[in-house]
Structure formats: structure tokens, C-alpha cells
Amino acid sequence: MALMTPEQFEASLKELKPRVFMNGQRVPDILANKNTRTVVEANKASYAWALDPRYKDIMTCFSPLVNEVVNRYTHVSASNEDLVKKAEAGTFTAEMLGTCIYRCVGYDAFHALASTTWEMDRDLGTAYHPRFLEYLKMVQKKDLSAAGALTEPRGSRNKKIVDWPDPYLALKIVEKNDKGIVVRGAKINISGAYASHELVVLPQNAHSEAEADYAVAFATPTDAPGITYICQYSPYSAERDLSDDPEELGNPVFGQRETAMVIFDDVFVPWERVFHCGEYKYSGEMVARFARTHRMTCGGTCKVGFMNQIIGASKLIQEFKGLDRVSHINEQIMEMVVLRETGRACGLAAARLGQEEPPGSGVFLPDEVMGNVSKLNICQAFWRVMALAGDIGGGLVVTMPSMKELKNPEVKGFVEEFYSFGSDEPTENIMKVHKLLQHWTAGQHGVGTWHGAGPPMTQRIALQRAINLEHEKDLVRNTLNLKKKEKQAEGK
């Protein structure tokens, strides 16, 4: 069987030696560092679920490519039903982790590559598609985790890419030889790559002829020579570094979303891992296909799962306080449910209305309009859910003392009394739920959700392109029995 155990996954990561920096220092071992460890744990969970009878239907599927059951996160959707399952998996992983499953960007990148390599081969006679399928078979058989990378640092928006003086602001091919290519540049805001086996790289943008060297897509081991990771470091990172015990923290095991800047300092990629190389006319479509896929993921699936954690925590606090029947709180929780279900509906619609793209390719992608609609809705909804949960959680969500006070004999009694609300629930539980709400409402999730899969303006641009209103105009013409333009007919 293709599936690794979680232990095998952890062992496999130990073989890799990525060059990682965080908080001004080298991270010698990502399995040991408290913050990078959260990424390892999240990916590791996806291996456990694939073998768990309760979850294997959602986390695995049969791959005709290798004639075996594989982890769903390595499978390119071949039907609307696959897309629906993909959506359900996105919600499941998010609600179990309370953070990113760091394999989703790679999963979505596989879709963009499968579709666009097929198209390039059809149009240009290239042989990228079989090459990509060979690569994907390897990923499936070895049951590898793949991260994905798209966003680049970029320079002045007032200049063209080729005129940016600094060398790393955009990723490009700096050398081609008979064995492969050498790339230089960087990707930013990359979720959890250092704890994956593979990094799948797409272009950031559509490209013009002058930018042909930037039209590049490939896969690389995450510890390939020349790759450096500079990790984010937030107040939540500091809090974890200072903690005595993960259970002091809002999301003990899996933490907040961890990202890194990834620098490619002349990284060699052999040809069998290169899937796009100079065919600049196809870069835009490749990115757009990734975007529509990833917007369904971010808009209609994982945030639904996150909201489940927030709703659950809000409900528990309501109950701890003995406020089960207070109607304005029930209304607030109901509003969260409405926002969640609206997100879920849009995600499912994106999957159900998805199409084979391009026709004949065998690759199914979510519906463009619905994918973008789901992301636009969830951006607004998530801030609103944060506000509502913050209301229910109360000021204590942000004025909490350290959980360490529960071990401080001088104040322990007071803290236990004040957080008990007169209930018989262990105070530690109550404080932990407040800490979880702090994690959701007073941290990186508002801004992070907003920008994941691109800020709203990118969805608006995609929608402007996708919207066609001829049908709607015809309805009006018909309802009103509008005349033909006679003036025009008269040659005016």
C-alpha cells in the first residue's frame, strides 16, 4: 500500500535538512523547534487520518494512475464528485487542526499543473503532461507531502518586472542546460513548506514575452541546495517559545498558520521536474486555474472548518456561564452558523458546477464564478465571526492572565474562582476555551483569511473577467418588448 504511517512520515522528515531561520537564528532541527514543530504535527495528522477507519474515506481515494488507494491530497480531481470530496476534506482537516493542513496549496497546484500541462502539450506539442504524471505517480507511491508556492516579493508596482533592480523579487530561470534549469528569486507567505517533502512552484502572474524567463513551474525537494527559509515570527511565536507546556496555548498542538519566505539562490531543477519553462502565454492560465481551485478551498471549505471551532468554543463559554437560554447570544451563534453555511454552500456550488478544464483533459476544476464568490463572502464573514465570538467570549478573551498562574500558589485560588463563573466545569477547561478564542479572535486569522488565495481585489478582477451579462440583458429586452435600434439602422 502507498500510505505511510505517521511515524514513517516523521522519520522521513528527519532525512531532510532544510536551511531554516527564525527570530534571527538558524533552526537546526524543525522537528525540535517549538514553532516549526506545529507544522510537522499538522502534516503528520494527515497521515494518521488516512489510516484511521473513521476518516479514511475522506482522506484517501483510489488513484487510477497508480492503481492504488492514495492520500486524497495527492489526487487530481477527475469528476464533480471528486471536487465535492475535495471540498469536504478541506473542511474536515481545518476543523480537526484549527490551522492549515499544509498540503492544500500543493494539492491545488497539482490541479493547475495537470490541466495546463495537458493544454500546452495539445497546443505546442510539448511533453509536459506525461512528465507531470510521472512525477505525480512518484508522489502518490511514496505518499509524499507537497507544499505549493506562488506569491513573490515583487518590486515597485510602477515598474516592469524586468526593470526591478533587485535579483530576488521575482523567481526566474537563470540557466538552462541539458540536465535541467537553475532558478533564482523568492516566494513569500509560503505555508509550512519546510515540513513537506516536496515544494511545487508555479509562476506568480501572467507573463509577457519579455518575461519568458519568469514563466516557470517545477517541483523540488524542500531541502534542495540553495533553498533558504526565513520564517514568520509573530507574538504567537514568542508566546509558544516562552511556554512551559503547550497546553498553556490557544491551539496547543497545531498553533497558528506558519509561513516562510523561501529564497531560491540558484537552485538546480532537473528536467523531469520542470513543467513549464518559457511558454509565457500559458502562465496566466496556469495561475488562474490554481486561483479558482484555491479560492474554493480557502473560501468555501477550510474556513467552514475554522468556524466550527469558533462556534464550538463560543457555545461552550455560553454554557459555562449558565447563559444557555440568553436569546441574544443564541442569535449571535445562529448568525455564525448562517455565515458558515453560506460559505459551505458556495464551496459546494463551486464543486458541483465545476467543469472539465480544458475539455478532454480529464481534469476537473471548480466553477470560476462560484470559487471567487465563495472567497469574497468568506473574507467578510470571517471578521464578522471573530467579532461575534469576541462578544460572547467577553473581555477576558484578551485580558487573560497566563495559564501559568494556575500553578502559582499565591494567586491560583483567585484565578480559579474568577474563571469558574460559578460553574462546576474545571477552571482550567474554561480558561483553555478562552485561550482558544483568543487564538481565533486576537491573532493572525482575520488578516490571514482575508489574504489567503489572494485579497478580495484579485477575486473581483477574476469575476469581472468571468461575468457575461448578455442573458440578463435579453431578459429585459424581452420583458419590455424593446424596439430594434432604428436610428442605427438609418446609418446614424
> What character string, x for contact with a second copy (CB under 8 A) and - otherwise, covers 328-367?
x-xx-xx--xx--xx-xxx-xxx-xx--------------
* C-beta of residue 450 within 8 angstroms of C-beta of residue 456: yes
Taking the C-alpha atoms of residue 413 and residue 407, their distance in angstroms, rounded to an integer, is 10
User: How far does CA 261 lie from the centroid of its chain?
Assistant: 15
Q: What secondary structure letter does DSSP report for 223?
A: T
Residue 230: enclosing H or E segment and its boundaries? strand 227-231
Binding-residue total with a second copy (CB under 8 A):
159
Residue 488 in contact with a second copy, rule: CB under 8 A? yes
User: At its nearest, how many Å lie between a second copy and the CB of residue 188?
Assistant: 6
> Cβ(52)–Cβ(5) under 8 Å?
no
State the minimum distance, in angstroms, from the CB of residue 411 to a second copy.
Answer: 5
Q: Which residue's entry shows cell 463560543?
A: 314
The whole-angstrom separation of Cα 379 and Cα 458 is 12
- The x, y and z cell numbers of residue 282, run together, are 500559458
Question: Which residue carries 509577457 as its cell?
Answer: 208
User: In the complex, what is the shortest distance from the CB of residue 265 to a second copy, in angstroms, rounded to a whole number?
Assistant: 9
**Residues from 246 through 265 that contact a second copy (CB under 8 A):** 247, 251-254, 259, 261, 263
Answer yes or no: are the C-beta atoms of 389 and 437 closer than 8 Å. yes
Quick one: 5 or 420, whose CB is closer to a second copy?
A: 420
- Interacting positions 37-56 with a second copy (CB under 8 A): none
> What is the spatial distance between Cα 326 and Cα 318, in angstroms, rounded to a whole number?
9
Residue among 209 and 424 whose Cβ is closer to a second copy: 424
Of 3-11, 215-223, 276-284, 415-423, the segment contacting a second copy by CB under 8 A is: 415-423
Site string for a second copy, 265-304 (x = CB under 8 A): ----------------------------------------
Considering only residues 186-215, where is the footprint of a second copy by CB under 8 A?
186, 188-189
Q: Rounded distance, CA 472 to CA 364, Å?
A: 27
Among 219, 231, 277, 296, binds a second copy (CB under 8 A): 231
DSSP state of 8: H
Which alpha helices (H) appear in 253-301, and where do they start and end?
A: 283-300
For a second copy, give the closer residue by CB, 129 or 432: 432
Nearer to a second copy, 138 or 463 (CB): 463
Residue 83 near a second copy by CB under 8 A: no
Q: Report how far residue 26's alpha carbon sits from residue 20's, in angstroms, rounded to the nearest whole number.
A: 6
Residue length, the chain?
492
Provide the minimum distance between the beta carbon of 142 and a second copy in the complex, in angstroms, as a whole number. 30
**Least distance from C-beta 454 to a second copy, angstroms?**
9
Which residues contact residue 224 at a Cβ distance below 8 angstroms, ignoring those fewer than 6 apart? 267, 268, 269
Q: What does the per-residue mask of binding to a second copy show for 145-164, with x meaning CB under 8 A?
A: ------x-xxxxxxx----x
Kindly state the smallest distance separating residue 25's Cβ from a second copy, in Å.
7
Stretch that binds a second copy, among 54-62, 268-276, 289-297, 480-488 (CB under 8 A): 480-488
Distance (Å, rounded) from C-alpha 177 to C-alpha 181? 6
93 part of the interface to a second copy, by CB under 8 A? no
Q: In whole angstroms, how close is the CB of 225 to a second copy at the nearest point?
A: 15
